[in-house]
Structure 1
Amino acid sequence: MITIIMAEDHQMLIDGVKSFFEYDETVNIIGTVNNGEDLVKLVLLKQPKLVITDIRMPKMDGIEATKIIKTRLPHIRVLALTMFDQPDAIKQMLDAGASGYLLKNSGIKMLSKAIVTVAQGETFFDPNVAFNFMNDYIDTNVTVGKSEKVLLSNREKEILNLIANGKTSKEIAEALFIAKTTVDTHRKNMIRKLDLKNGNELVKYAIDKKYQF
């Protein structure tokens, strides 16, 4: 189990991430905070396996918080989740001790990959920032996220949006004036196209697209 404390001053993002991982048996978000000072206090108290933190936050930024956490508890892994793609910000965060750097617009599926990678002791880079910094981490196991573009039909996008809103296949069929079996076929096709395992993962994917970072 990967225990996580997340620091982010936008509560909507926290709620979206918590919703996505609510039924994930490998990830447990044991605490959330909205500023750097509270992050340090909660991490020292609960000692999670992984910290996810933004850079710009009230009271104390993510860089300073990461420095303190890594000094006091060097075994805890830190993943930066931020909007900042400037080289200076990335370098400061990595120098502070972060083991991963992910941009918020990468989507929650890549966040899931980053969490597992960093928790395993490896380094994870967002593909949009990776190649400027990989050489500095040549002695570590580095994973670069992959931007996967999947083409869904307009009908599939409609159905995906309704799935994200909690609609059943029957309700979707009634809303779109199509047969339930047609909806089920579209679900199966999307699972195949998106390289997902089952319907539960399709629901998670739908929520990801609804709560886009």
Structure 2
Amino acid sequence: MITLVIAEDHQALIDGMKAFLKNESDIEIVGYANDGLELITLALQLKPDVVITDIRMPKCDGINATQTIKKELPNTKVIAFSMFDNDDAILQMKEAGASGYIMKNSSLQTVLDAVRAVSEGFTYFADETDEELDKPKNELFFSAREKEILTLIAEGKSSQEIADALFIEKSTVDSHRKNMSKKIKTIGKTDLTKYALERKYDYL
């Protein structure tokens, strides 16, 4: 389970992310803050796996909050969340220790992908002008569980057989299938089974 804290001074954005992420079986929002000082207090108390933080916030900005959190909780991953596609802000957040940077106008699926990516040690900087991306722009990110399911799909197993093999509910497998299908649409109308077969050995 990925524990998540969200810091954003616009409550409507927090509510939107909460509504979207509540059905994800591998992510739990454990707290949210409306200013930087509240974020630091919450993070030190809850020790989340991932923090999503706005850069411009009252009392303490996201850059200083990130520096403090990373100093005290080096294993907590931080994703910057901003209205502005600003190279200086991206650089400052990187230097503060952030593992990701996404725009507020990004899709909620992008937010989900970023959370899963940084939790597994990847970086996720959505700025297309950044030439230092650790993850190539055309590479699709799949979580460890999705990779397991893709491998089993490539072996011809049904959703129920996959659920039995991984000791999870069939509905969870179906949810992962749906999410993966959304991802592969970004590179063409490829059937999920065909996609899994083509990359049968990528995830072993």
Q: Structure 1: which 5+ residue stretches go unaligned?
A: 135-140, 147-190, 198-213
Moved over 2 A (4+): 127-131, 141-146, 194-197
Please name the residue that 1:80 is paired with: 80
Please name the residue that 1:113 is paired with: 113
**More contact order relative to length (CA 8 Å, sep ≥ 6):** 1
Q: Which has the larger radius of gyration?
A: 1
| C-alpha distance after superposition, 1:177-212 (max 9, x if no partner) | xxxxxxxxxxxxxx99x9349xxxxxxxxxxxxxxx
Please name the residue that 1:52 is paired with: 52
TM-score w.r.t. the length of structure 1 is 0.63
Please name the residue that 2:193 is paired with: none
Q: Return the alpha-carbon distance in structure 1 between the equivalents of residues 137 and 33 of structure 2.
A: 28
**1:195 is aligned to 2:188:** no
Please name the residue that 2:27 is paired with: 27
> Does the 8 Å CA contact 1:4/1:30 hold for their aligned counterparts?
yes
Code of the residue aligned with 2:61 in structure 1: it is D
Please name the residue that 1:206 is paired with: none
Kindly state the Cα deviation for residue 47 of structure 1 after the two structures are TM-superposed: 0.3
> Does the 8 Å CA contact 2:4/2:51 hold for their aligned counterparts?
yes
Q: Return the alpha-carbon distance in structure 1 between the equivalents of residues 6 and 20 of structure 2.
A: 14
| Cα gap change, 1:145 to 1:12, in 2 (>3 Å) | farther
Kindly state the Cα deviation for residue 46 of structure 1 after the two structures are TM-superposed: 0.6
1:128-139 matches, within 5 Å, as 128-131=128-131, 133-134=132-133
| C-alpha distance after superposition, 1:108-146 (max 9, x if no partner) | 111111110000011011143433x43xxxxxx435488
TM-score w.r.t. the length of structure 2 is 0.66
| C-alpha distance after superposition, 1:90-111 (max 9, x if no partner) | 1001100000011111111111
Q: Structure 2: which 5+ residue stretches go unaligned?
A: 140-176, 184-204
Identity of aligned residues (%): 45
1:142 aligned to which of 135, 140, 156: 135
> Does the 8 Å CA contact 2:79/2:102 hold for their aligned counterparts?
yes
Code of the residue aligned with 1:97 in structure 2: it is G
Q: Return the alpha-carbon distance in structure 1 between the equivalents of residues 68 and 30 of structure 2.
A: 20
| Cα gap change, 1:92 to 1:66, in 2 (>3 Å) | same
| Cα gap change, 1:145 to 1:117, in 2 (>3 Å) | farther
Please name the residue that 1:151 is paired with: none
* RMSD over equivalenced CA pairs, Å: 2.4
Please name the residue that 2:101 is paired with: 101
Q: Return the alpha-carbon distance in structure 2 between the equivalents of residues 10 and 47 of structure 1.
A: 23
Q: Return the alpha-carbon distance in structure 1 between the equivalents of residues 41 and 9 of structure 2.
A: 16
Kindly state the Cα deviation for residue 52 of structure 1 after the two structures are TM-superposed: 0.4
Q: Return the alpha-carbon distance in structure 1 between the equivalents of residues 81 and 94 of structure 2.
A: 12
| C-alpha distance after superposition, 1:151-192 (max 9, x if no partner) | xxxxxxxxxxxxxxxxxxxxxxxxxxxxxxxxxxxxxxxx99
